Amino acid sequence: MRSLPTRRIAAVALTTAASVVALAGPAFAHVTVNPGSAAQGGYATVNFQVPDESDTASTVKLEVNLPLDHPLASVRTLPMPGWTSTVEKSKLDKPIKVHGSDVNEAVSKITWTADAGTKIAPGQFQEFRLSLGPLPTDADSMVFKALQTYDNGDVVRWIDEAQAGQPEPAHPAPTLKLTKAASGDGHGVTASASPAAHGDSSDHAAAGDTKSSDNTARTLGVVGIVVGVIGTAVGVLGLRRKNSGSAS
């Protein structure tokens, strides 16, 4: 007779743990920009990470829109085998000054299109790398609205902006948080102080390390929750057995 409550508690614990993992999974499937933050006023190398969420279709195009309310004077793409990138520029209503010179236009959209035989298949992901800057000094984030196109014609619009105090939207736009530049840096820029430095392998490694650390932290958080649930269930089982033993 004691085995029935034990089985019920164990089942509840396992169901709860499975639910936590299931709920945590979709957070990894969004189109995101990594690393998720950079210093105001500096240059940065970022990756747009694009997972294929379909079970039957492959991703063949990514469009990323750059905000013109905070235009960027320098935007460069990293050549990718199997993909063709096109850069669109728009005239600015008000020129911006960069290193003492007026800049009258800025990149407003970048499109990566898969060449024949190239795709992001189901269960795979791809990273599209940009170097950009100088980042604005009067904003705390930049939103890059993106469109993901599948080979069956479906288009997923990653354009929803997160609102403070509200649940995460179903299709959040990739967002780069901007932080205050470290004190002592006279130019207020990141370690990649000049556009020419963005192709340096150390910058790429730093970006990869940040992304890896972020994913690891998320994974450990989920594992911690699962372990906590199971530990609670084991504690309850032990208490029930102790009480049963005392009663007898």
Average pLDDT of every residue of the chain: 77
What pLDDT digit, counting tens, does each position of 42-71 carry?
A: 999 999 999 999 999 999 999 999 999 999
Cα–Cα distance between 137 and 121 in angstroms, integer? 39
What does the pLDDT read at residue 103? Answer: 84
pLDDT higher for 176 or 97?
A: 176
* DSSP notation for the chain: -THHHHHHHHHHHHHHHHHHHHHHGGGGSS-EEESSEEETTS-EEEEEEEE---SS--EEEEEEEPPSSS--SEEEEPP-TTEEEEEEEEEEEEEEEETTEEEEEEEEEEEEEEPTT--B-TT-EEEEEEEEEPPPSS-SEEE--EEEEETTS-EEEE-BPP-TTSPPPSSBPPEEEEEPPPTT-TT---S--SGGGGG-HHHHHHHHHHHHHHHHHHHHHHHHHHHHHHHHHHHHHHHHHHHHHHH-
Question: Which residues are paired to 147 by β-bridges?
Answer: 63, 157
> Which residue, 225, 238, 214, is CA-closest to 17?
225
Cα–Cα distance between 172 and 12 in angstroms, integer? 32
What does the pLDDT read at residue 96? Answer: 83
What pLDDT digit, counting tens, does each position of 198-223 carry?
A: 444 334 434 444 444 444 445 555 54
Cα–Cα distance between 9 and 27 in angstroms, integer? 28
Cα–Cα distance between 198 and 90 in angstroms, integer? 23
